[in-house]
């Protein structure tokens, strides 16, 4: 058996495993906590500092992490297929790291309009003060090549988007960007590195909110950045160190634990979400379901080409425009808890704010009236119970506007 013949799920299970010492050792990398490191001599310390300055992933202080962090980074490189992995305390911190590493004052980035909404806050409250310009565009409606300027340095994408599940043609968009020397970064939280591998499809950076599917249990805050290219990696590492970004060893261990079961959990989320999505499609109160695994979804063909599966995240639009129906439905749910995140074992529901939808060209580009939009994360509960919960909640929505 060679590494080339071992299946990806097997490699992920073993990535970052601790070496044996004296003929024995733990299966899982233990939690190694440290703020301060001690050195055998000044010569050893200075050698470590030189190696770190040269870009080697070694620790000279606790902020750089130790065994648990190194194991997680190794597993993330295996998962995403990249040269270097960096850890951040949240998904938004990972996004900010990428933006600050790639962009300098006077430079410009193009950002898909379906992007994770808090990125716009980083733009408004931080990047504009630094003289950095972000321009939002619709990949489905706008000509990317025509929007690239001489000062454009970054194309930032998210596929699928987390509200309407808009799937982007990453290879085509990356080819246009690279032809003009523009770096491509992709928020891969939906694909979790397992369902989608942006680095293999043309991206230079793949980032995630590991809070979601990597953690898998709604008990972890984590951002991850995996990148290729020596110069890009150098800038990311320098910015990461300058910002003092780090995570605790316990969080690194929780992420490692989650990665070991990631393929199994995602497969179960997909099975449950497909069943719920198909049931919703058959309901007269539902105008449309946004889920790329459905054959009539506009992004289905791209999803089949570029993804190996789906997760538990879907949205559906209610018939009519009365917002009371949306509030009544979400408030009536019993098994679906109201929550803004996703990726854990539990089912969640959220009524999407109109101002968030107004940012999306896929939503505003239609001339049809738009009804309330409900986003679901379909968890690991029995889907028959989830369907029953949705059925009674649709009844409450119907009564609210009767």
Q: What is the pLDDT of residues 119-148, one digit of tens each?
A: 999 999 999 999 999 999 999 899 999 999
Do 285 and 168 lie in one domain? The reply is no
| 251 and 133 within one domain | yes
Q: How many C-beta atoms lie closer than 10 Å to residue 370's C-beta?
A: 15
pLDDT in tens, 370-383: 899 999 999 999 99
Reduced to 3 states, what is the DSSP secondary structure of residue 80? helix
Q: pLDDT confidence of 369, banded at 50, 70, 90?
A: low
Based on the fold, state whether residues 305 and 271 are members of the same structural domain: yes
The CATH number covering residue 76 comes to 3.40.640.10
Question: Domain boundary at 223, 258, 293, which?
Answer: 258
Provide the domain count of the chain: 2
- 109 Rama sector, left if φ>0, alpha if ψ -120 to 50, beta otherwise: beta
Quick one: average pLDDT of 50-57? Answer: 89
Q: Is residue 2 part of a domain?
A: no
Co-location of 392 and 270 in the same domain: yes
287 phi and psi, to 5 degrees? -80, -35
Q: Which pair of structure tokens corresponds to residue 245? A: 């970004």
Q: How far apart are CA 227 and CA 155, in angstroms?
A: 14
Please check whether residues 252 and 331 belong to one and the same domain.
Answer: no
| Average pLDDT value for the chain | 95
Q: Is residue 3 part of a domain?
A: no
CB 57 within 8 A of CB 174: no
Confidence (pLDDT) at 212? 98
pLDDT > 70? residue 2:
no
For residue 312, being part of any structural domain is answered with yes
- The structure tokens listed for 147 are 């929007």
271 and 306 housed in the same domain: yes
152 and 31 in a single domain? The answer is yes
Same domain, 136 and 285: no
Asked, for residue 394, whether it belongs to a domain, the answer is: yes
Q: What is the CATH number of the domain that holds 363?
A: 3.90.1150.10
How far is Cα 256 from Cα 248, in angstroms, rounded to an integer? 13
In tens, the pLDDT along 164-183 reads 999 999 999 999 999 999 99
286 and 141 assigned to the same domain: no
Checking if the pLDDT of 282 tops 90, the result is yes
**Are both 251 and 371 inside the same structural domain?**
no
Among 231, 258, 285, residue at a domain's last position: 258
46 in any annotated domain: yes
**62-66 mean pLDDT:** 90
**pLDDT at residue 1 in the model:** 60
CB neighbours (10 Å) of residue 85?
24
The token duo for 114 is 């379906």
pTM: 0.94
Note the maximum CA span of the chain.
Answer: 79
- Give the domain range for residue 321: 261-400
pLDDT per residue as tens digits for the range 186-239: 999 999 999 999 999 999 999 999 999 999 999 999 999 999 999 999 999 999
Rounded Cα distance between 252 and 289, Å, is 36
Q: Look at residue 367 in the predicted model and tell me its pLDDT.
A: 58
Query: Given 258, 290, 309, which residue is the final one in a domain?
Result: 258
- pLDDT band for 97, please (50, 70, 90 cuts): very high
- What average pLDDT score do residues 44-49 get? 94
Domain-located, residue 174: yes
Interval 224-280: pLDDT, tens = 999 999 999 999 999 999 999 999 999 999 999 999 999 999 999 999 999 999 999
277 and 226 in a single domain? The answer is no
Section 8-27 average pLDDT:
86
Give the pLDDT band of residue 368 (cuts 50, 70, 90): low
**Are 75 and 26 contained in the same domain?**
yes
Instruction: Check residues 30 and 375 and name the one with the higher pLDDT.
Output: 375
């Amino acid at each position: 058996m060679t590494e080339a013949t071992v299946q990806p799920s097997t490699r992920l299970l073993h990535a970052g495993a601790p070496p044996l010492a004296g003929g024995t050792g733990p299966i899982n990398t233990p939690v190694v906590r440290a703020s301060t490191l001690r050195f055998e001599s000044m010569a050893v310390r200075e050698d470590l500092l030189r190696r770190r300055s040269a870009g080697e992933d070694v620790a000279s202080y606790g902020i750089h992490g130790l065994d648990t962090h190194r194991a997680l980074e190794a597993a993330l490189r295996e998962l995403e297929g990249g040269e270097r992995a960096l850890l951040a305390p949240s998904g938004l911190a990972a996004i900010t790291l990428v933006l600050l590493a790639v962009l300098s004052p006077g430079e410009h980035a193009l950002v898909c309009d379906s992007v994770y909404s808090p990125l716009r806050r980083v733009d408004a409250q931080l990047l504009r003060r630094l003289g950095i310009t972000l321009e939002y565009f619709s990949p489905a409606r706008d000509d990317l090549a025509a929007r690239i300027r001489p000062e454009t340095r970054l194309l930032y994408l998210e596929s699928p988007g987390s509200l309407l599940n808009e799937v982007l043609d990453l290879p085509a968009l990356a080819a246009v960007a690279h032809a003009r020397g523009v770096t491509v970064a992709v928020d891969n939280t939906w694909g979790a590195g397992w369902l989608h591998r942006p680095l293999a499809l043309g991206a230079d950076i793949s980032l995630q909110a590991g809070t979601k599917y990597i953690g898998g249990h709604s008990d972890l805050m984590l951002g991850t950045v995996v990148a290729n290219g020596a110069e890009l990696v150098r800038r990311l590492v320098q910015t990461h160190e300058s910002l003092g970004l780090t995570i605790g060893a316990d969080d690194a261990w929780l992420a490692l634990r989650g990665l070991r079961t990631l393929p199994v959990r995602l497969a179960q989320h997909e099975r449950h979400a497909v069943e719920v999505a198909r049931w919703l499609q058959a309901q007269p109160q539902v105008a449309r379901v946004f889920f790329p695994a459905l054959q009539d979804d506009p992004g289905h063909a791209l999803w089949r080409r570029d993804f190996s599966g789906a997760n538990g995240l879907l949205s559906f639009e209610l018939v009519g425009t009365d917002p009371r129906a949306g509030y009544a439905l979400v408030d009536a749910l019993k098994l679906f808890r109201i929550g803004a995140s996703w990726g854990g074992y539990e089912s969640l529901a959220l009524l999407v704010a109109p101002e968030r939808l107004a940012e999306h060209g896929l939503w505003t580009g239609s001339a049809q009236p738009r009804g309330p939009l409900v986003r679901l994360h379909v968890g690991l509960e029995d889907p028959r119970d989830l369907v029953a919960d949705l059925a009674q909640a649709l009844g409450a929505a119907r009564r609210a506007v009767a």
